[in-house]
Structure 1
């Protein structure tokens, strides 16, 4: 079970089109993400989730709560009509990273440096 200080970081690209990027950002503005999507994140035990954008590259930082289980979240998402509809809509704006596995959207990033671990 992950500690609350553990974080998962993922990367994904948006299609490199200023209009699509603007629409994607608008969908993620406060109050624009459907309530069912926010509820699915919270119900999964995710303590915090942020998405950052640089150009068309996105980074998602997920901070799990003590009850978070990634497999349970994936199964709940697969069974949720609301989540599947949202994912299909978001895929209109997103594109896989060049090195992503077939069908993979968000790619997990490996932490290679932490100041806290330095001498």
Structure 2
């Protein structure tokens, strides 16, 4: 067999394997969070939500919507330089997000079983 025939067989097998793996993973609805930003947001998303009274007032007065909070927990960016991750009890994270041409900055306290939004800044 020549080199080009072996290369063609290899590429055909690799392509077939990629297609099979793609369809298997698509049905399992899996996600791979290896980066710190993704892991932090996933950890916060899985916990019970709580709000400080100021934030609850913003939600009640319709200044802030829970859809924005959900969007931020999915697509936000954690600013680790402004976050306090050295605390032993509850870590505090600054999460930035843009939604409808507005910039939101969430101050989230992430404890063992609950994630509390302490403050929201809208720019």
The interval holding the TM-score normalised by the smaller chain is under 0.3
Structure with the higher fraction of residues in helix conformation: 2
Structure with the higher fraction of residues in strand conformation: 2
Higher relative CO (Cα under 8 Å, sequence separation at least 6) belongs to: 1
Mark the structure with the bigger radius of gyration: 2
TM-score, normalisation: structure 2? 0.25
TM-score, normalisation: structure 1? 0.25
